[in-house]
Amino acid sequence: MLDLQRLELNIRFENAGVSFGPRVALHPLSLTLEERRVAVIGLNGSGKTTFARLINGLTKPTVGRVVVDGLDTATEQKSVLGTVGFIFQSPQNQIILPIVRDDIAFGLKNRGLGKAAIDAAVDGILDRFDVRDLGSRRAHELSGGELQLAALCSVLVTSPKVLILDEPTNQLDLKNRALVERTIAGLTESVIVISHDLELIEGYERVLVFDRGRLAADAPAAEAISRYREIAA
């Protein structure tokens, strides 16, 4: 049975911003994320990826702080990485071992689990997405949609509370895009999606729009997408 309490998550930006020398990548902002589905949109260079990377500590704020489930991302990054999973825009770049099953097991081996526990966890995550056949496949043989599923399995096997996906439907054909969309919709974890695919995020509870390093809109999908279209016009 799904433990909904375990999945409750609180992400707080406390006047958090990022600068690289004189360039401000993200102006300081304060907000709290608690929704199960959040999307982040904006033009290239708008600050949306910097915002997402702050959540799991891949980027540290130069002012303010970010707190995830009570953990400061700048000082408790190791614990934060166990709470927040991240799927990069090119999932093949984060699948480091040639055989999918070995790659899924890699993160569990780093946690010191025994072989029986690792095998059970890997089987469980493959069964969850009904992709047991992917386990024996080589990563370079997979389609775009299958690569996304393999990356999802590798991240979710470690049981993060929240999953960030960076452009999960980028360069996918219609079949693979539909596969990824269905998979994301069925996830029990909290999900933050960075995307230019406006159709993908139409039903999301909350959408953040970034423009030139500032939060330009924070609204339900229809209102946020309308604001984004104004910015992009």
C-alpha closest to that of 9 among 37, 51, 30: 37
Helix axes 174-185, 144-156, angle to 10 degrees: 20
Supply the angle between the helices 100-109 and 115-128 in degrees, to the nearest 10.
130
How does 58-85 read in b/e, with b if 16+ C-beta sit within 10 Å? bbbbeebbbbbbebbbbeeeebbbbbbb
pLDDT for res 8: 62
Token pair, residue 212, equals: 């030139």
Q: Supply φ then ψ for residue 216, to 5 degrees.
A: -95, -25
Let me know: does 103 contact 139? Beta carbons within 8 Å: yes
Mean pLDDT by 10 residues, the chain (233 residues): 50 97 95 94 94 94 96 93 90 88 89 88 93 92 89 92 92 87 90 94 93 96 96 92
Confidence (pLDDT) at 51: 96
Q: What is the pLDDT of residues 17-57, one digit of tens each?
A: 999 999 999 999 999 999 999 999 999 999 999 999 999 99
Looking at this protein, which amino acid is placed at residue 35? E
Written as six digits, the tokens of 135 are: 């386990």
Task: Kindly state the helix (H) or strand (E) to which residue 72 belongs, with its residue range.
Answer: strand 71-72
pLDDT of residue 94: 84
Contact 83/68 with Cβ under 8 angstroms? yes
Q: Mind listing the domains of the chain with CATH numbers?
A: 37-44+81-232 (3.40.50.300)
Sign of CA dihedral 110, 130, 169, 52: negative
Question: CB of 43 within 8 A of CB of 227?
Answer: no
Count of positions (residues) in the chain: 233
Q: Look at the pTM and tell me if it is higher than 0.85.
A: yes
CA 232, CA 153: separation in Å to the nearest integer? 35
Give the pLDDT confidence score for residue 205 in this predicted structure: 85
